[in-house]
Amino acid sequence: MEVGWYLRFAKTDRVEALVSLKGEPQVQHEQHVFPDWAFAFENRGDHVLCVMTRNKPVYDKPEESEEKAE
């Protein structure tokens, strides 16, 4: 499992991964490598849901025309 590749080349501002309990420490380690992403972990029994969200959105921004309309 190489979470770093998903975060480096993501064309979205949110990545979700359901990983085994044994894989969670590897994802936890990525928090130190990618400080521009926020990490959240939710226990799902024998797995952990890892949600990684960019601190500063790149792709999921409102369109400029929508911002001006408000």
Specify whether the CB–CB gap between 16 and 51 falls below 8 A.
Answer: yes
Q: What is the pLDDT of residue 66?
A: 54
For 46-66, the pLDDT digits (tens) are 999 999 999 999 997 766 555
31 vs 10: CA distance, rounded Å: 16
Would you state the torsion angle of the CA atoms of residues 19, 41, 57, 30, taken in this order, to the nearest 10 degrees?
-60
At residue 69, what are phi and psi to the nearest 5 degrees?
-65, -25
At residue 40, what are phi and psi to the nearest 5 degrees?
-130, 140
Would strands 47-54 and 14-20 be described as parallel, antiparallel, or unpaired?
Answer: antiparallel
pTM attached to this predicted model:
0.79
